Amino acid sequence: MSSIDRILEGQALDESVWLELGEFCASLQVERHWVAELVDAGVLEPRGPSPDAWSFPASALVRARATSRLVNDLVATDDSEMQLMSMLTV
């Protein structure tokens, strides 16, 4: 099998599918505290009274992934600007 021959498996997710916090974090490959920060900021709205009881609609994965990309882009931009500034001040 060549490197481009792969079988991908997936599940169609819609508003009727809800993920518990652990499943949600695993799908995003993030830590629980990162999701909790998004909840605190109002980016995500879980169902349930506490993190141990939280669940999220599958559609929230799209918002969380977009947020992750934005944060990563901002961090990369900040690092690049800091490196550029340090080179200019030398």
Task: Record the tokens describing residue 74, joined without a space.
Answer: 């901002």
- The DSSP string of the chain is --TT----------TT-EEEHHHHHHHHT--HHHHHHHHHTTS---BSSSGGG-EEETTHHHHHHHHHHHHHHHHHHHHHHHHHHHHHT-
Q: How many residues in the chain?
A: 90
Residue-level pLDDT at 90: 47
One pLDDT digit (tens) per residue for the chain, 90 residues? 556 777 766 666 667 899 999 999 999 999 999 999 999 999 999 999 999 999 999 999 999 999 988 888 877 776 665 665 565 554
Question: pTM value?
Answer: 0.69
